[in-house]
Structure 1
Amino acid sequence: MKSNRRLLKIAMTLLTIGAAGQLVMHSSMAQKNHMPMMGGMMMGGMMEKRMPQGINPDQLPAAGSEGAKLLDRYCTQCHGLPGPGLHTASEWPTVVARMNRRMQMMSRKHMMMHIEAPGNNELEILIDYLKKNAQRTIELNKLGGADTPAGRAFKKTCSQCHALPDPAQHRPNEWPAVIQRMQKNMSSMGKPLPDQTTMDQILGFLQRHSAK
């Protein structure tokens, strides 16, 4: 009788140890599988107050190109997908170099937030794509009406986030959607938003100087 009880206790102990082992193993696997996602979420949270909202991949210029695909693949690991118009052609190499240093650091095996980093050839393709589709800027005094209320509002509002964009890089019917996207970006970045009357003035100014 005592022998049977002893065997029963041993069996229960083994079952308990086995169940605990399974729990630890599943927990470890789940943690490993979710680590890249957690890293991206944490980085996204850190950057969300400095970065504008991302755009959809199909909104990228030459959306099916290798450069656009690389931008979507690597940049969205940490934050929303940036449009190439976020920076000028001269600014992008420095920005990409800074982002690449972070990705290279976080791609190391001992890092908790494992992020995929691009190779040298991919970096060249990415930078070339960004420069080719970068923000085109213009000096305000080269535009007629620069000293009007609309011109001054354009300068004050748009220069909060980037260099003044050349209105001719879009057609008149394209500017409303661009303005709407910029308003969302300003809101997400905590920038002061002009009233609707001022936004209408800016839109009219851009459309008057846009591509025909």
Structure 2
Amino acid sequence: MKDNRNLVIGISLLIIGIIGLSALSGMRLSTAGMMGGGMMMDRAGMKEMMKGMMGDLLPPGINPEKLPDPQSTGAQLLVQYCTQCHELPGPGMHTADEWPSVDDRMIRRMRMMGGMMHDINAPADNEFRTLVAYLQRHAQKPMDKTKYTDLNTPAGKSFDATCSQCHVLPDPGQHTAAEWPGVVGHMTQNMKTMGKPLPDRATLEAVIEFLQTHAK
């Protein structure tokens, strides 16, 4: 009886071992298939994965021609490297103080992904410095609230409540009065894409009024 029980236990352990080895072999084959040249994820796959992971947190990209100084080396590096994993970001997404840490995080991700995928490249050190300098030069300029006594007016409150949903309050002096309606229209589309509450027409008009009053 004892011998039979030992035999059953031995056979059971053997079966478990075979199943475990089969699962491990399948995992290795699957990994090899993913990392092999023909099955490796490309940039299009990476962008889709990023959209799935980030959802509405990523704003829509901008046209390269709309970048500040689009023919500069910094702009070209931005297009070359930053569109590998997601849509093209505008320099105005962050302030000059914020961009270095954002860029450092992105380059670490590119280097990590470059070791896993054949189609992701990280900038060289000199390119990275040029890219950061470009983004800081054209970064979002935050408003100095102490200089604007009309932030408590209806137009000022509309501006504050609307624009602070996505970024720091922008300095109205960054654009001319003629430019601000187009900028606000673009930002409204970003808000829609990102699932933010959209302001009504009266609120948008108040925001534009405030910005135009203090435009350059």
| Structure 1 gap ranges (5+) | 1-27
Matching residue within 51, 71, 75 for 2:78: 71
- Aligned partners of 1:78 and 1:49: how far apart in 2? 15
Q: Say whether 1:178 aligns with 2:183.
A: yes
Q: Say whether 1:90 aligns with 2:97.
A: yes
Who is 1:120 aligned against? 125
Native 8 Å contact 2:51 2:58 kept in 1: no
Native 8 Å contact 2:114 2:120 kept in 1: yes
Native 8 Å contact 2:155 2:206 kept in 1: yes
Matching residue within 36, 42, 66 for 1:35: 42
Native 8 Å contact 1:36 1:113 kept in 2: no
How many residues get paired? 181
SS for the counterpart of 1:183 is: helix
Native 8 Å contact 1:84 1:135 kept in 2: yes
Matching residue within 168, 173, 176 for 1:168: 173
SS for the counterpart of 1:55 is: coil
Q: Which amino acid aligns with 1:155?
A: D
SS for the counterpart of 1:49 is: helix
1:49 shift after superposition = 1.4
Output the aligned Cα RMSD: 1.7
- Aligned partners of 2:51 and 2:120: how far apart in 1? 13
Change (3 A) 1:136 1:190: same
Q: Say whether 1:47 aligns with 2:41.
A: no
Work out the percentage of aligned pairs sharing the same amino acid.
50
- Aligned partners of 1:30 and 1:193: how far apart in 2? 44
1:168 shift after superposition = 0.5
1:48 shift after superposition = 4.3
TM superposition score normalised by structure 1: 0.80
SS for the counterpart of 2:56 is: coil
Change (3 A) 1:96 1:50: same
Native 8 Å contact 1:92 1:130 kept in 2: yes
